[in-house]
């Protein structure tokens, strides 16, 4: 699908990015529970912001979901797995992940010829 056929607008993609980043912040803050760095207020404020963003994003999500529920579920599962990998990665691993992502963006056509992505069939 090219940019002209994109079902979700760039604005909705930016809302999604904010939601994903907020989720990473919430999870990282939760992992600090019991330490001096944990802040209950951060959790409250980020959760509140997340709810606002999700409401705005929901319209675009519903459009995509109703057009292709299987693709939508698979993409959300891939995003969830990626967030988990980022959340649990060490500093060294994050640096390597960043380098790999840069390699991908610098050479998409070649990498897409050799790498495949598998989606799960949803019944």
d(CA 121, CA 10): 28
d(CA 47, CA 19): 10
Helices and strands (H, E) in the chain, number of each type: 5, 0
pTM higher than 0.85, yes or no? Answer: no
CB atoms within 10 A of CB 23: 17
Segment 105-121 shows an average pLDDT of: 88
Segment 41-47 shows an average pLDDT of: 79
pLDDT tens across 70-98, in order? Answer: 877 787 788 888 888 988 899 999 999 99
d(CA 42, CA 44): 5
pLDDT tens across 13-23, in order? Answer: 677 777 777 77
């Amino acid at each position: 699908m090219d940019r002209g056929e994109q079902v979700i607008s760039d604005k909705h993609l930016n809302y999604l990015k904010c939601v994903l980043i907020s989720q990473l912040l919430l999870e990282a803050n939760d992992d600090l529970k019991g330490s001096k760095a944990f802040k209950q207020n951060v959790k409250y404020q980020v959760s509140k912001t997340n709810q606002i963003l999700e409401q705005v994003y929901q319209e675009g999500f519903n459009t995509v979901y109703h057009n292709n529920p299987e693709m939508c579920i698979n993409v959300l599962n891939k995003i969830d797995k990626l967030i988990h990998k980022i959340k649990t990665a060490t500093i060294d691993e994050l640096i390597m992940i960043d380098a790999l992502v840069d390699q991908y963006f610098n050479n998409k056509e070649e990498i897409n010829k050799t790498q495949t992505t598998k989606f799960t069939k949803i019944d």
